[in-house]
Structure 1
């Protein structure tokens, strides 16, 4: 964070500075969590439905915090800034720091692929410039301002991920971010529970365009039923499309996948054409690369820098990360999260592998009243993708394996029996052919346990083999 004074902070958050013997006391660190190192930090006491950090103000001060932003008056010996709403104050402070540093900013939203596009852009821009990118999944109304507060004077670019689970959230976070470029990566059945329908998701994601300046650029997928809506919203303003269609402004052609499902393709923007190869697996990552390329070109990156940056992006743990457990056994870890669209994309990738293919799926969360129907849709897609086996664990996911029943579909009531069945199938099939297992589910399903169990099994088997080696 840039260095600012207590008085500057108070003005930025429309608060009243109290108890400060030195209003020019310098602040260069902000925290909302007493588990952080709080020495010389400004502590913001957030209050939510199930927590109230005002209960930990004394602890924060004892740990070295030099001032507090609070909704409750403190004693006059304690430096504090009194505000009506600390959560709103956090947003105001993040926006003020962003305005002070004034980096060229790209904001990204969408049902899927936000983090991947963010990583792609950070890799492209980071070759030449200092860039700040969202860490982890800090993409909600708390995470976005905390991301902006990480800005330093040397940051020339910011790549900020905007997520949402209810209408109005992106309108708020884009008002803080004020991007120069806004990417709406896609719309699908993700977090439907908070929006009522996929149409509600689309409407909420479109809020990202509200933060753009008059000459700002909106980037959207060409192959979307919502494109006419976005064009209407952006009437008279700049909008660029990406996709596989020849009509898309930024497009891919001549796509080829290697044995790991990693694509090489020709990227075309206007009359520029160049070849791109990705370390990331899956056809869907071609579209992610197109979105990132459009934004990167807009902020001044060259075709060569874009191609090199994209090629340097390695898989993020839990996002279609392939692991070779033995010569004949591959496990693909896609346990970071799951939506209908991302699960279909994972199935398409799995279907491209030779030999026995096993899909292991936990529940896809936050799909609302149509959750079972969405799981059945995924089961149908698995059939179309030509998957050999479809194993499920959870409550909702059973609907997917039931659709697949009779073709190698099976539901499990316990983690242990699921892992045993996977290992048994691998043992039977890997003697004569390659076996690929893809594990996926929403975070609440904790499907990473399956990946960890498979890794541990083969690690133990390898160690035992070493002990008996000559």
Structure 2
């Protein structure tokens, strides 16, 4: 990091102490345990902790400076601000300006992490590229991710996650994107955002913070999103899986010969054609069309997109296909909302084909007043899919049963309960989808099944064998 303590002071207070231009800042930390000599420590206040209590510890480790909103008595330079979280965001924005990086901001109800990872794989073919780790995308994670990027990376791809009204107003000014990407909007975080229209309004707030000359990239197929976006940006770049009048269109053509891989078509202004990739499902076609649209704005070609996504390594908890004995276990346990849940179930059913489909699902959290209705709808979807077996964990099991209207579901609380039932079923060649909200720890079910069936391996092995035509 090429910052001095004076740079930090000018960014946060408008003036620098004499001599501080000669004091380098090596990195920025919010955890005193990770502070090394020459770091800047920002005292963040959370619901269950207060970083100010650890300012002395950071100073003792040789911190070059302490950013604080309270009086602290430490042997280090102290920079006083009104709000340390906002100061962290402001410092990240200053650092980005100093680096001169082009920033792509990605948000949406579903697929934003996947799009970020796909974009990184594609853009890295031409540029050194920074990204935030997994979903470090909130008021702390976003600025810390930006502060870990450096001047050698001309493109930064940053995911922005929101859960309540006002979150985007905090995050968007930090990102101040050159390219703002909204993958879709749907019923996610309704307890904080109220309705799908509220989600659309909150997500599209990002577009108000585009840099001069910046570009908005949105989903043509999502009408609430499009309606909200057009009020802010009259001519966004659009992508689609269903509207052929857009410039970037992708389609899912079915599974390939490699387990967990899919065949896709991709049309851009440069051409049209089919290829295989290490992911499967119609929702990945949406992600692919989005990535192609963004990549084109960054000067990359359709071929760059295809070659880049073919190298994509599966996230271990995002629709990661694991082969264990004769079972295909789909670990999609990182999180769940009604949109992502429906897409995952439909894709798993398509992948299963004539093989038995087993669903191990958990509650979708943070849906507020919509929770009962959305879980009844989940039951209705499962009834239409008609899996060979259906297991459920969570408080909304009764609501799911109402939607099932008489079809069977087995309630489970622990992986051990599920494994006993699994052994009794005696299924062979099954496709098993495991998914639920993060707090339910549904990955424990996927892991237990992998251990039972033998060591799982993900579907990205042999990625270079994919064929393009």
Name which of structure 1's ranges 124-133 and 403-412 shifts more when overlaid on structure 2: 403-412
For the 8 Å contact 1:175–1:210, the answer to whether it is kept is no
Question: Aligned pair count?
Answer: 452
Structure 1 residue corresponding to 2:58, chosen from 57, 60, 66 = 60
Structure 2 partner of 1:85: 83
Extract structure 1 runs of 4+ deviating beyond 4 A: 15-18, 20-23
- CA deviation string 1:214-233 (max 9, x = no partner): 42221111111222332232
Please state whether the residue corresponding to 1:13 is helix, strand or coil.
helix
- Quote the Cα distance in structure 2 between the aligned partners of 1:58 and 1:397: 49
Structure 2 partner of 1:361: 361
For the 8 Å contact 2:270–2:302, the answer to whether it is kept is no
Structure 2 partner of 1:463: none
- CA deviation string 1:397-417 (max 9, x = no partner): 442245336434222344432
After TM superposition, give the deviation of residue 78 of structure 1 in Å.
2.4
Structure 2 partner of 1:465: none
After TM superposition, give the deviation of residue 69 of structure 1 in Å.
0.6
Structure 2 partner of 1:449: 444
**Does 1:375 pair with 2:375?**
yes
- Quote the Cα distance in structure 2 between the aligned partners of 1:312 and 1:105: 23
> Which runs of 5 or more structure 1 residues have no equivalent in the other structure?
461-470
In the superposition, the TM-score normalised over structure 2's length comes to 0.91
After TM superposition, give the deviation of residue 9 of structure 1 in Å.
0.3
For the 8 Å contact 2:263–2:280, the answer to whether it is kept is no
After TM superposition, give the deviation of residue 302 of structure 1 in Å.
1.4
- CA deviation string 1:220-278 (max 9, x = no partner): 1111122233223212x443333332123211247232364532222112352233322
For the 8 Å contact 2:105–2:160, the answer to whether it is kept is yes
- Quote the Cα distance in structure 2 between the aligned partners of 1:77 and 1:213: 40
Name which of structure 1's ranges 277-286 and 251-260 shifts more when overlaid on structure 2: 251-260
- Quote the Cα distance in structure 2 between the aligned partners of 1:201 and 1:253: 26
For the 8 Å contact 1:221–1:243, the answer to whether it is kept is no
Structure 2 partner of 1:295: 294
- Quote the Cα distance in structure 1 between the aligned partners of 2:300 and 2:21: 42
**Does 1:241 pair with 2:239?**
yes
Name which of structure 1's ranges 290-299 and 68-77 shifts more when overlaid on structure 2: 68-77
Structure 1 partner of 2:320: 321
CA shift in 2, pair 1:70/1:16, >3 Å: farther
- Quote the Cα distance in structure 2 between the aligned partners of 1:269 and 1:459: 42
After TM superposition, give the deviation of residue 192 of structure 1 in Å.
0.9
Structure 2 partner of 1:123: 121
Name which of structure 1's ranges 70-79 and 172-181 shifts more when overlaid on structure 2: 70-79
Structure 2 residue corresponding to 1:100, chosen from 91, 98, 101 = 98
What RMSD in Å do the two structures reach over aligned CA positions? 2.1
- Quote the Cα distance in structure 1 between the aligned partners of 2:74 and 2:286: 56
In the superposition, the TM-score normalised over structure 1's length comes to 0.91
- CA deviation string 1:149-192 (max 9, x = no partner): 11211011010101101122223212111211111101111111
- Quote the Cα distance in structure 2 between the aligned partners of 1:281 and 1:397: 28
5 Å matches for 1:236-315? 237-253=235-251, 255-258=253-256, 260=259, 262-270=261-269, 272-315=271-314
Please state whether the residue corresponding to 1:332 is helix, strand or coil.
strand
Structure 2 partner of 1:135: 133
For the 8 Å contact 2:336–2:364, the answer to whether it is kept is yes
Structure 2 partner of 1:468: none
After TM superposition, give the deviation of residue 130 of structure 1 in Å.
0.4
- Quote the Cα distance in structure 2 between the aligned partners of 1:138 and 1:121: 16
**Does 1:43 pair with 2:5?**
no
Structure 2 residue corresponding to 1:204, chosen from 202, 205, 212 = 202
Structure 2 partner of 1:421: 421
Please state whether the residue corresponding to 1:213 is helix, strand or coil.
coil
Structure 1 partner of 2:466: none
Structure 1 partner of 2:152: 154
Please state whether the residue corresponding to 1:437 is helix, strand or coil.
strand
Please state whether the residue corresponding to 1:35 is helix, strand or coil.
helix
Please state whether the residue corresponding to 1:273 is helix, strand or coil.
strand
CA shift in 2, pair 1:253/1:363, >3 Å: closer
- Quote the Cα distance in structure 2 between the aligned partners of 1:355 and 1:184: 35
Structure 2 partner of 1:392: 392
- Quote the Cα distance in structure 2 between the aligned partners of 1:208 and 1:262: 33
After TM superposition, give the deviation of residue 15 of structure 1 in Å.
6.5
After TM superposition, give the deviation of residue 39 of structure 1 in Å.
2.9
After TM superposition, give the deviation of residue 296 of structure 1 in Å.
0.4
- Quote the Cα distance in structure 2 between the aligned partners of 1:50 and 1:39: 27
CA shift in 2, pair 1:388/1:77, >3 Å: closer
- Quote the Cα distance in structure 2 between the aligned partners of 1:80 and 1:23: 15
After TM superposition, give the deviation of residue 50 of structure 1 in Å.
2.9
For the 8 Å contact 1:393–1:413, the answer to whether it is kept is yes
